[in-house]
Amino acid sequence: MKDLSLHNPNCVSNPNYNLFGLPTNEEDARLIVMPVPWEVTVSYGAGTARAPESILKASHHMDIYDEEMPDEWKKGFYLKPCDKKILMKSDYLRREAELYIDYISKGDDVKDNQFMTKSLREVNEGGAMLNQWVYEQTRSLLAQDKLVGLLGGDHSTPLGYMKALAEIKGSFGILQIDAHCDLRDTYEGFHYSHAGIMYNALRDIPQIEKLIQIGVRDYSQEEFDYIKQSKGRVQTYFDKEIRQRQLRGQSWYQTAQEIIAALPPQVYISFDIDGLERSLCPDTGTPVPGGFQLEELYLLFSGIIDSGRTLIGFDLSEVGVSDNEWNANVAARLLLKLCNLLSSANR
For the CA atoms of the chain, what is the radius of gyration? 20
Sequence spans of domains, the chain? 4-344
Q: Is 143 exposed, middle or buried (0-12, 13-18, 19+ CB in 10 A)?
A: exposed
Q: Please state, in angstroms and rounded to a whole number, the distance separating the CA atoms of residues 175 and 170.
A: 16
Q: What Å distances lie between residue 19 and 22, 64, 76, 94, 306, CA to CA?
A: 6, 11, 10, 28, 27
As assigned by CATH, the class of the 4-344 domain is alpha beta
In angstroms, rounded to a whole number, what is the distance separating the alpha carbons of residues 149 and 138? 9
Q: Model pTM?
A: 0.96
Using DSSP, state whether 161 is helix, strand or coil. Answer: helix
Q: How do the pLDDT tens digits run along the chain, 347 residues long?
A: 667 878 989 888 898 999 999 999 999 999 999 999 999 998 777 889 999 999 999 999 999 999 999 999 999 999 999 999 999 999 999 999 999 988 888 887 888 888 899 999 999 999 999 999 999 999 999 999 999 999 999 999 999 999 999 999 999 999 999 999 999 998 888 999 999 999 999 999 999 999 999 999 999 999 999 999 999 999 999 999 999 999 999 999 999 999 999 999 999 999 999 999 999 999 998 999 999 999 999 999 999 999 999 999 999 999 998 877 899 999 999 999 999 999 999 98
